[in-house]
Amino acid sequence: MKTIELAGTDLLEAVKLALRTSYAALDDKVSKMNIEQLRAYLAKQYPGVQLADEVDTSNPTHLRNVLLNLHEPLLAGEDDLVAAGDWDLWPLCEHLLDRYDISLSPRREVGTGHRVWLADDNDLRIAGDSAREAILRYYVTIKLGHEVNLPD
């Protein structure tokens, strides 16, 4: 299915798949890093981050866990996305806007006057009927590509 066609439950399933894929890729990446590489990656990806006092920065496991927890907002469970309404997903959407430097703007389609939202950066522009739909479609596209195979 093309990401631009994703809506409703299909969009939420694609977001879950994108989140799982993203975490798995990061987990694989950081599991291969030594302590110095972990520190450098943390400093580059999250400049100025304040770590809790109990985080042992000389312990690679602690730093790996910090990186995984900072990566994308965690959901309490898989079912959170399915049950989520527009407002429940705004923390994730706001995080994605900031993390991926996405601009969001409303537009009216020429001819029909239908209002759409555009989520875009310099290289990619994705439309949706709502701001949430545009942001989530954008995220799915950058993580999984322009076409997604959803599990049955």
Round to whole Å and give the CA distance between 104 and 117: 7
Mean pLDDT of 87-91: 70
Mean pLDDT, the chain, rounded, equals 83
Residue 62 lies in a domain: yes
Mean pLDDT of 100-112: 82
Total residues belonging to the chain = 152
Residue 152 lies in a domain: no
| H/E element, 8 | helix 8-31
Residue 150 lies in a domain: no
DSSP letter assigned to residue 148: -
Mean pLDDT of 92-110: 83
For residue 34, the model assigns a pLDDT of: 95
The reply to whether the predicted model has a pTM over 0.85 is: no
Mean pLDDT of 44-70: 83
Residue 149 lies in a domain: no
For residue 12, the model assigns a pLDDT of: 85
Mean pLDDT of 83-92: 66
Residue 81 lies in a domain: yes
Q: Range of 113's domain?
A: 3-144
